[in-house]
A and B are shown apart, each in its own frame.
Chain A
Amino acid sequence: MDLQLIMAAGIAVGTILLFAAVGEIFAERSGVLNLGVEGMMLIGAVVGFWTAVTTGSAWLGLVTAMLAGGLLSLLHAVITITFRADQVVSGLALTFLGTGLARVLGEGLSNAGSISLLPRFSIPLLSGIPVLGPIAFTEQSVLVYVGYLLVPVAWYWIHRTRAGLHLRAVGEEPAAADALGVNVFLTRYRYVLVGGMLAGLAGATITLAIQPGWFGALTVNGRGWIAIGLVIFAQWSPLRAAAGAYLFGVVVQLTLAMQLPPTILGIANPFFEYHPNTFFLEMLPYVLVLVALVLGSRTARRKRIGAPAALGIPYVRGERGR
């Protein structure tokens, strides 16, 4: 097992979760819970892949994937923001719709052959840093580097700009924001759209860069839900979400790598000896999410950090929530 390669692959895999989680952070910070991440990721994955197959351009696929994810999220926005329907149910519906639609659109794409992927390259100078360089800055996909940029940008946007101030105000106290002339509906539409586009990007990151190909619903395989869990664990902070996503990616790669060698540290590898044991390795990421949620909820209780106060509550001018 080459630990360095595993870490590098983990960061690449973590980038998928990172995009989806940061997108969901934006949506939830505005007060809209969008449980449809899985569906939006699948739509992004299939539309991006289909575009790349038909036009030959992975870059174009990236654009259409984000548009498709955004379009799907607008449906959620109309239903929850304008029609004030239950955000949980609408998010579930979005998952069903996205999953079904992606499978319909992806019919026949499984054996579409190979596509040209998004470029991979090393960053001069940075790749020379000991330990970190080979892991984080060597032969990674361009999207991994986009991920590195997205995290500080998202943080700065939320905490240090006028738009971010309004975003937080709308998610915490929409009535206060409204009274001060912030357009609550428009703000929520915008960030739900941003969330959808980032989820679409996350999907395309799978099919166009990190794990290319279309494998039906297995392409995303629950990672949309994991991203939502990550948001709770990260307490709505892009920085913590990034840490969680990369850590998670590394653990997933480790579990994959552990299936291969006949012995680990001189001990007979139970996952090599008896193949069904590897199903326990497959459970591990999901167990890890549960553990993270328990730990996350405990620190949140201790530090009294909570979800955005208006999360999940439709805003109606003149009604005092709840």
Chain B
Amino acid sequence: MGSDRDPPPGPDRQTVTAQDPTAGIDPPPAVELRGIVKRFPGVVANDGVDFALATGEVHALLGENGAGKSTLMSILDGLYQPDEGEILVDGVRVAFRSPRDAISAGLGMVHQHFTLVASMTVTENVLIGLDAPRFRLRLDRAHEEVARLAEAHGLRVDPKARIWQLSVGERQRVEILKVLYRGARVLIMDEPTAVLAPQEVDELFRTLRSMTASGHSIVFISHKLGEVLAIADRITVMRRGRVTAAALPAAGATRAQLATLMVGRTITESHERAPGARGDVVLSIQDVEAQGDRGTPALRGVSLDVHAGEIVGIAGVAGNGQSELAEVVTGLRACSGRVLVGGDDVANRPVRSAIQRGVAHVPEDRHGVGSAPNLSLVDNLIMKRYRSEPIASGWAIDEAAARKVATELKDAYEVSAPSIDTQARLLSGGNLQRIILAREIESGSRVMIAVQPTRGLDVGAVETVHRLLIQRRAAGAAILLVSEELDELLALADRIAVIYEGRIVGVIDTADADVEHLGLLMTGGDKEPTEPARHVAGGLAG
């Protein structure tokens, strides 16, 4: 039954040989993909991809954003149908027309963006899509079942809680519960660590280990080299829709080797950066309190100064008040307290007053907030200065001037787009971010708030964004950089402020920072010594 084209799954893997009673007979892979081709208008997302997952292993699928990992796994999950190629489960050919087919074949996907219904309870979310019960929901019985399942796999979560009340880590546990409840033996985890704090990652890894020990197989999709080396048994690397390395044993792999396979060239991991010429305080946040979208306190007395020529990083697990902090400073959210920009209080003033005082904002949601998807690049580029010379002339907009500005910016920031009349929605994430940065930087800002500026971008675009931020710092701007990627903060920031439950729980000079300590602060573990950190954090994170 084994493939005649692929190297058969090696019998030398410890995990399988250790438990497999039929060792030596060469069991078929739990899941195998052969020659998968998937085309989208204008791109070939998967170009003849082979992939084999052995029973009981963690098999990492490594690649940059846009390499085709998620498309491949969406095919395996039945969300997309391949244009060519075949799927085998336990050696039997199958065709998935929908995720339902994949689930009934024992395959479950844990998406990067959680697919949970926020207004429903954990149990209700688990029950969505099941064929049983036929009609009446017996919620009490279901609560018990979910609780029992959670217990068995060490996934701590209250079945009766509503999703919006849960932390990100808990939501991920619900996603895992959903696939386990369906009897999945193969879990596909798409970038599962992207939103987790270091200690939560450790807890996730323990859960994954316990699941492989009980016979589950896991596809671990990631672009983070360190994590892949830490958790995977074998690694398959993809680049631009093709496999560049198939089923490498993780034991012998190195970061440099994987990085080269992933991006096709060696990447420099850190930026050289001149020690900043730190100036006066330009942005001063004083005792700010604000509510979140649900009316619960999101900021509980935040004070922070940012100097000219300085990047201050905000580290924290998603949902601890970072987004609200950025919105308060830019005038998008009401608050109590003061936000001084060059001495003027901009808190609770119209958004325009912050803009006029030179506050630039690279928002978290590029598509939803930072751009107008159906408008042209011109319209997107003049968003912050259509009311000032030379674009404004009286009540009218000087179209020629606007087009001139747009053309200059498009060239200067190397935006690849057919023309300045192209709609913003047709741009790639990296190009859209270049548009936003061009607009925000060129509006002559003294202060810049950048929220998750590199999320979802490919390596080249990430480098561009980092370079632009460092240039801004050199030009004397005060930059507040909110990021969930500690590596990014460590590489760019002069100081890192850790936010936890709406409070700044520590401000650390980057030179003195260590990941373990930051992670502890991010999960509310306070200033405990670093050695027993895992246990303390594990206990507090839930």
Contacts and interface: CB of A to CB of B under 8 A. Distances in A.
Question: Is the A/B pair a real complex?
Answer: yes
Interface of A: 160-163, 165-166, 168-169, 172-173, 175-183, 304, 309, 317-318, 320, 322
Interface in B327-383: 367-368
A134 B111 CA distance: 58
B119 to A, nearest CB: 6
29 contacts: A160-B137, A161-B137, A162-B127, A162-B130, A162-B133, A162-B135, A162-B137, A165-B120, A165-B128, A165-B137, A166-B129, A169-B117, A169-B128, A169-B129, A172-B118, A176-B115, A176-B117, A177-B128, A179-B77, A179-B79, A179-B99, A179-B109, A180-B99, A180-B115, A180-B128, A181-B98, A181-B129, A183-B98, A318-B80
A31 to B, nearest CB: 12
A256 to B, nearest CB: 40
A133 B136 CA distance: 32
The 9 closest A-B pairs by CB, nearest first: A181-B100, A180-B129, A176-B115, A181-B129, A173-B117, A172-B117, A179-B115, A169-B128, A180-B128
B113 interface: yes
B317 to A, nearest CB: 22
A162 B138 CA distance: 9
B357 to A, nearest CB: 30
A317 B130 CA distance: 20
Interface of B: 74, 77, 79-80, 98-101, 103, 109, 111, 113-120, 124-125, 127-130, 133-137, 139, 178, 293-295, 367-368
Given A181-B99, A304-B294, A320 B113 contact: yes
A43 B119 CA distance: 36
A178 B367 CA distance: 23
Contacts of A180: 99-100, 103, 115, 128-129, 178
Nearest to B129: A180
A173 B295 contact: no
Nearest to B294: A304
A165 B115 contact: no
Nearest to A159: B137
A180 B295 CA distance: 31
Contacts of A165: 120, 124, 127-128, 137
B375 to A, nearest CB: 15
B136 A161 contact: yes
Contacts of B120: 165, 168-169, 172
Main secondary structure of the interface of B (DSSP, over half): loop
Contacts of B100: 180-181
Contact of B134 (A162, A182, A317, A318): A162
A182 B128 contact: yes
A267 to B, nearest CB: 47
Given A169-B117, A181-B99, 14 more contacts: A162-B136, A163-B135, A165-B127, A165-B137, A168-B119, A173-B115, A173-B118, A176-B115, A176-B125, A179-B77, A179-B115, A180-B103, A309-B119, A317-B79
A266 B438 CA distance: 75
Contacts of A317: 79
Contacts of B74: 318
B367 to A, nearest CB: 7
Contacts of A182: 128-129
Contacts of A160: 136-137, 139
A304 B111 CA distance: 27
A47 B118 CA distance: 42
B79 A161 contact: no
A213 B103 CA distance: 55
B103 A181 contact: yes
A7 B42 CA distance: 65
A318 B41 CA distance: 14
A176 B125 CA distance: 9
Contact of B117 (A168, A183, A322): A168
Contacts of A318: 74, 79-80
Contacts of A322: 367-368
Interface centre among A162, A168, A178, A320 (most CB of B within 10 A): A162
A161 B135 contact: yes
Contacts of A176: 114-117, 125, 128
Contacts of A161: 135-137
Contacts of A173: 115-118
B111 A179 contact: yes
A309 to B, nearest CB: 8
Interface centre among B77, B98, B178 (most CB of A within 10 A): B98
Contacts of B117: 168-169, 172-173, 176-177
Interface centre among A163, A165, A177 (most CB of B within 10 A): A165
B146 to A, nearest CB: 14
Nearest to B40: A318
A166 B124 CA distance: 10
Contact of B129 (A168, A172, A177, A309): A177
A191 to B, nearest CB: 16
A317 B75 CA distance: 13
B471 to A, nearest CB: 32
Given A317-B79, A318-B79, A166 B128 contact: yes
A309 B163 CA distance: 14
Contacts of B128: 165-166, 169, 176-177, 180, 182
A322 B372 CA distance: 11
Contacts of A175: 115
A183 B135 CA distance: 17
Contacts of B113: 320
B498 to A, nearest CB: 29
B388 to A, nearest CB: 30
Given A179-B109, A181-B100, A181-B103, A172 B135 contact: no
Contacts of B295: 304
